[in-house]
Structure 1
Amino acid sequence: MEMNFNQHISGQFNADLEAIRNHMMGMGGLVERQVANAIEAICSGDTRVADDVIRREDEVDKMEVNIDHECTQILVRRQPAASDLRMVLAVSRVVRDLERIGDEASKIAIHTLEVADNSSNQLCQQAMRYMGAEVVKMISGALDAFARHDVDGAIDVVRNDKLVDQQYASALRELITYMMEDPRSIGQAINILWILRAIERIGDHARNISEQVIYLVKGTDVRHSSLTEIEEQANKD
C-alpha cells in the first residue's frame, strides 16, 4: 500500500513538472507568433496586425503569472532537488524572458502605428527583415532546444545572437547617416531606432532562454558568460 502511495506521489510530481513545461512551451508558441506578426506589421505597414499584437499582450502577461504560480506551488509542496529543481527554476526564468519578448513585440507594434503611411517606414527595411527573421528563428530554436535538452542547439542560438548584434550596429550607422543628411527626419527615424532596439532585445532574451537549456542539462549557470565560456562549459562532462 505504501509503495502504491509513493508511486502515486511520484507520478503526480512528474505530471506537475510536465505541466509547467508544456504550459511554458505554449506560452513560447504564442510569443513567437507575436514577434513574427510584429515584424510582418512593420515590414508591410499593416496596422491591423499591429493592433492585434498589442491587444494580445495581456494574454502573454497572464500566462507568465499563471506559470510562475505553478512553479511556486511545486517548490513549496514538492521541495524538488537536483534536476527536478533545475527544471522548475529554468521554467520560471524562461517565462520571464518570454514575457519580456512579448513586451518587445508590443513595442514594435506600437511604433509601427507611429510610422505607418510615412516614407521613413522604408528606413532600414532590409535590416528589420533580416533581424526580424533571425530573432524569430532564435526563439523557435531556443524553445526546441529546451524541449529536446539539446545543448548544441542552444549554443547555435547564442551564436546567432552575435549576428543580430552586428546587423543592429550596422543599421544604427545607417540611421545616424540618414538623420545627419536630413534633420527633419529625426522624429520618425527615432521610431525606427526603437523598433530595431526592440528586435535586438528579443534576440538577447532568446539567448537567455538558451542559457537556461545549458543550466538545465549541465547544471551550470552560464548567464553573463561569453560565447567561448559557454562552449567550454557545455563541453565539460
Structure 2
Amino acid sequence: MIGEHSSKQYDHDLEAIRSKVLLMGGIVETQFTDAMTCFRVGNVEAAERVIAEDDAVNQLEVSLDDACSHLIVRRQPTANDLRTVMATIKVITDLERIGDEAAKIARMSKSLHSRGMVTVNHFETVRTIAGETSDMLHDALDAFARLDGKQALALIARDAIIDREFGFIMRNLITFMMEDPRTISAALDTLWVAKAIERIGDHAKNIAEYVIYVVEGKDIRHTRPSAPAVQ
C-alpha cells in the first residue's frame, strides 16, 4: 500500500510539472507569434511586451527546474520515470531559449522601426521560414503533451527544411547588401531575425528528440533518424 501510494503521488507530482511545462510552452509559442507580428507591422509597444514576457519565462524555468530537482530527491525515480524527469528538464531549457530568441526578434523589430524602416518587405523575406518554424514548434509541444514518438520522429526531418530556407535567405540578403550598401543595416537586422527563427526550429527539434528518448529510451541526438514512411 505504501508503494502504491508513493507511485500515485509521484504520478501526480510529475503531471503537475508537465502541466506547467506545457503552460510555459504556450507562453513562448505566443511570444514567437507576437514577435513576428511586431516584425511585420513595427509595433514598438507590442515588441516591448514580448521582451517583458521573457522575465516570466525565465522565472518559470527556475521554478520548474527546482520542482524537478525536488521530485528526484523525494521520489528517487528509476528507469523510464527518471528518463521522463531528465527529458522534462531539458525541454524546460529549450523553451527558455525559445523565449530568448523571440525577445531577440522583438528587439530587432524595435531597431528597424526606430530607424524608420518599412518592415513589411523584410517580413516577406522571412515569412516562409517563420510559418514553418511556428508549425514545427506547435507540433513539438503537441508531441510532448501526448508523448507521441511517431509525431516527434516525423517533425525532426522538417528542421532540415528550415536550415535550407535560412541558407537561401542569407544568400539573398548578402546579394542585396552587395548591390546596394544602403540596405546593409536593415538587411543585417533581418538576417539576425532569420537566424533567431532558425534557432527556434533547432530547439523545437530538440524537444522532439527528448520525446523519443522518453518513449523509446533512445538518445538520437547527433544522429540521423529516418522519418516514418509516407503511407
Structure 1 and Structure 2 fold alike (TM over 0.5): yes
Q: CA deviation at 1:120?
A: 5.8
SS of the residue 2:219 aligns to: coil
Residue of structure 1 aligned with 2:12, choices 15, 19, 37: 15
Gaps of 5+ in 2: none
2:205 is aligned to: 207
Aligned amino acid, residue 20 of structure 2: H
1:188 is aligned to: 186
The reply on whether 1:98 has 2:95 as its aligned counterpart is yes
SS of the residue 2:96 aligns to: helix
Range moving further from structure 2, 134-143 or 196-205: 134-143
Contact 1:120–1:185 (8 Å) recurs in 2:
no
Q: How far apart in 2 are the matches of 1:179 and 1:56?
A: 33
Which structure 1 residue ranges, 4+ long, deviate > 6 Å from structure 2? Answer: none
2:157 is aligned to: 159
Q: How far apart in 2 are the matches of 1:6 and 1:23?
A: 26
SS of the residue 2:226 aligns to: helix
Percentage identity across paired residues of the two chains? 43
Question: 1:64-91: CA deviations, max 9, x gaps?
Answer: 1111111111111111011111110010
Contact 2:65–2:89 (8 Å) recurs in 1:
yes
The reply on whether 1:46 has 2:43 as its aligned counterpart is yes
Contact 1:121–1:192 (8 Å) recurs in 2:
no
Structure 2 matches for 1:32-111, cutoff 5 A?
Answer: 32-111=29-108
Aligned amino acid, residue 138 of structure 2: S
2:144 is aligned to: 146
The count of corresponding residues between Structure 1 and Structure 2 is 228
Q: CA deviation at 1:200?
A: 0.5
Contact 1:90–1:216 (8 Å) recurs in 2:
yes
Q: CA deviation at 1:124?
A: 4.2
Q: How far apart in 1 are the matches of 2:214 and 2:220?
A: 11
Aligned amino acid, residue 8 of structure 1: H
Gaps of 5+ in 1: none
